[in-house]
Every structure is written in C-alpha cells, then in structure tokens.
Amino acid sequence: MASKITFSIGGVHPADNKIARGRAIEVLPLPKTVYVSMAQHLGAPAKPLVAAGDSVRTGQVIAEPGGFISAFVHSPVTGTVKSIAPRKDLAGNLVTHIEIAVADEEVWAEGIDLTPGLVTELPSDVPAMLERIKANGVVGLGGATFPTHVKLNPGPNAHPECLILNGAECEPFLTSDFRIMVERPKEIVVGAAIMQKILGGCKCVIGIEENKPEAIEAMGKAVAELGYQGISVQPLKKRYPQGGEKQLIDAVMHRQVKSGALPISVGAVVQNVATSLAVYEAVQKNRPLITNTLTVTGDCLPVEKQHNYLFRIGVPLSFIAEYAGGIPEGAAKLVSGGPMMGRAIANIDACTVKGSSSILYLSEALTKRKPESNCIRCGKCADACPMGLEPFLLNRLYKAGDLGQLEDNAAQDCIECGCCLYSCPANIPLLDNIRQAKGQVMGVIRARAAAAKAAAEAAKNQ
C-alpha cells in the first residue's frame, strides 16, 4: 500500500465526528407523494416532458436537459403526475417540481436491469457508454452535481493523464461515501474502469483518507480481485478540505490548477466514488440516477438514531426526519451537507435531489457564533486557506466595496470551504463576507464575458 500523502497549501483539522460510520445503509421507504426538482444539477434546469394526469413508471424519463450543461431527470417512483409547479427548495427558493402520487405497486421502465449480479465485462463502444451515462442522468455526487457525460468528454485537445476518484469524505459527520466504499466497492471499481476507458485508458487513483481504514481495505481488495489495469488505492493524510478538486489533484499528482483553469489543464479528471457507482449502474445495468445515500447525523442525536439511508430523489426531508425518529430537541440548526460547507435547511419540507448527502442536526454549542472582535493580523486565515488566498485582505476589500481589487486578489477562486472562519481567533465572519464578494466578482466577470461575446458577434455580422 502506498504511503499517505496530502495537499501542500493550507487546510485545517476539525474533529471527525463520524458517528454514523458503523451504521449499514438502510433502504428508505417511499412516502405517498414525491416532488422531483427540475434544478438538481449544475447548469440549466431540466424541461418537463410529462403533464398532470400522466402515469409514470419508475426510471422513466420525465424531463430532458435544458441546455448543454444540464441533465435528464427520471421518475423515482411509479405513480401519477399530480402537478408541475413551483415549490420551495431547501434554501426557500421557488423551483419547478413534478409532483407524483406514489402507486401501491411499483413497475419499472423497460430495459432496466434489476438483477443483483455484478457485471464486470466492459463494453467496447465508448460513445455508447457516454450516451448511457447521459441518458441515465448521471451527475457528480461530490457536491457540484456537474453532468458527468460532459466532464468525461473534455474535448479532442485535452489529454487526460489521471482519473482521480474522490473517497476522501473530509467533511465531519458525513459517512455515506464511507458506507458505499465498504458495502459496494466492486461496483465502484467497475465504474472507475468504465470512466478510465472512456478517457482513453489513463491511470486511475482512488484517494481515501486514513481515518477510513475499512474503506481503504475494501477498495484495495476490490481492485486486486477485479484485476483492471492502472487502478490503485492511495491513502491520504486526514486534512480538510482534502476532498476539494484542486486539493485532491495537488495531493495525488503534485500539480496545481491555475486560477480560472479546469482540472483537465493539468491532465486530471476528478469524480466522486458515489458518481462512480452511478456510472456503473448506468452503463452496466441501464439504471437511471434516482437513488443516492445520505446520512442522518449530528452532535445532538443519539447513536441509535443515526442512519445511512438509500433514498429516492423527491422524498421530503420532513419524511426522512420523521422516519428516523424526529428532529431532536437539542437541534439549533439543520444543515444539508457537512458543517463546514453545507447549507442551512430553511425549509424542512424541501425534497431530496441527486446530490443530497445528509440531514445534519447541530446543537447550539456548534452553531452559536462568538462575539466578533477586531482583526489582530495574526495571519491564521491565510495560513489555513487551501487556495493560497488572503482572507483578511479580501474581507477588508469587500467592506470597502472594491470589486477591482477583489478580482485582482482572486476572490473568485475561493472554494467556500470555511477554513478561514474556522481558524479566525477574532470570530470575524470571513466566509460569509468573502462568499458575498465572490458572487459580486463573478457577476462582473460574467457580464464582461457576455459583453465581449456580443461585441465579437456584432463585429462578425458587420
């Protein structure tokens, strides 16, 4: 087994709190009604292909991509479409959802292989594999939900050298990736081999943090038994945010992605282990991405009430919370995702999407912010920033409203990991302010790009 490695700049070491790691994945039952979002992937929302009153089968396409960066959406249940209307997501924003009343008997769409047997022989037709990944609505399940078929087709001038599977799961509390690596390692490895073949046969490295020895062992055993060439397991030192795309590339390939550049610029393609499992199911079983695994966890939740669930998309979070035993009295905040990069759940009736990873209950002890004091210029935030930024400076520029200097000092490169906030002894809300600054700078950059494109079109038409 290779020696442990990590990324070179910044990072912090929050407590693991992997309380649910010993809880095997349970299949979550279905509610009477599901609500399927049309905006559960990066890019343009999907366009509904069904209407109220239509009968749908499990796995049937119910929405098509709304643009190049978009994805198909499938029915997670058998039932009847009740409505297509705006509904609040977990942040409270109105998003189009397809409401489906769940039938008593489940009937799957034709052509989907529901048999449990492992399929290890890889198809020879690369375009057909890509088409299956696209047709089955596979997106990145590490957080960004970028359409996977687009990421696996970087263009004729790209030269993929290394496919990196992200098994770091560096966020405290979350254990869903850990559980699938322990329980379904061979499917993940076959998915990796499929993506490796699509990318032209580059090597594949599966990066897993050292605090998951059972996953390292299970994945290593699967790699050895399946015998695909060029796939290896790489233990990583525990360090947050190891699961960040650029940090993982730094750790595994010892290369840095420049500001504004994509991972493929240094020969890397990064996919999450859950995405690899979804790729396996899409290509080898023709199963659409209608399920994922999430963790119900938190510091105020007894161990016996912590769970890892296999859920269908469209299930209300309130249904999951009630099924798991209810919201604990000591919960001061509900979070979707981890405590470092997750987002507060403003609407418990919001529904699961493809990228849902947790319902996290945090006590007041972990959420109450201490009084803010003046910056003491200690530089701890800069030392902790994995992107090499100077958060104290960006915070000052944000307060001054200096967008030009914010862009010059790369506010747009912030990955919103929260290391600056975690390390600040003055309790300054650095993450909140820099996130706002980043949004403003990105707006300027997009407006400039749109103006340049319009000018180029006008010049072309003269």
Domain boundaries, the chain: 1-23+108-368, 380-461
Q: What is the pLDDT of residues 339-386, one digit of tens each?
A: 999 999 999 999 999 999 999 999 999 998 899 999 999 999 999 999
User: Residue 119 above 80 pLDDT?
Assistant: yes
Q: What is the pLDDT of residues 223-261, one digit of tens each?
A: 999 999 999 999 999 999 999 999 999 999 999 999 989
Q: How many CB atoms lie within 10 A of CB 161?
A: 15
- Please state, rounded to an integer, the average pLDDT across all residues of the chain: 96
Q: What is the pLDDT of residues 174-203, one digit of tens each?
A: 999 999 999 999 999 999 999 999 999 999
Task: Name the CATH superfamily for 1-23+108-368.
Answer: NADH-ubiquinone oxidoreductase 51kDa subunit (3.40.50.11540)
Q: Give the pLDDT band of residue 3 (cuts 50, 70, 90).
A: confident
Q: Give the pLDDT band of residue 144 (cuts 50, 70, 90).
A: confident
Taking phi first (over 0 means left), then psi (-120 to 50 degrees means alpha), and beta for anything else, what does residue 29 get? beta
Looking up tokens 């605090």 gives: 211
Nearest to 219 by CA among 205, 235, 233: 233
pLDDT attached to residue 462: 76
State the pTM of this model: 0.95
Instruction: Give the burial class of 80: count Cβ atoms within 10 A of its Cβ; 0-12 exposed, 13-18 middle, 19 or more buried.
Output: middle
User: Residue 1 above 70 pLDDT?
Assistant: no
User: Residue 42 above 60 pLDDT?
Assistant: yes
pLDDT attached to residue 260: 87
* Rounded-to-integer distance, Cα 437 and Cα 389, Å: 13
Angle at 41 between CA 36 and CA 42, to 5 degrees: 150
Q: Which whole number is the average pLDDT over 390-415? A: 96
Q: Give the pLDDT band of residue 406 (cuts 50, 70, 90).
A: very high
Q: How many CA atoms lie within 13 A of 31 on its CB side?
A: 22
User: Residue 143 above 90 pLDDT?
Assistant: no
CB 136 within 8 A of CB 279: no
pLDDT attached to residue 238: 96
* Rounded-to-integer distance, Cα 34 and Cα 129, Å: 30
pLDDT attached to residue 460: 83
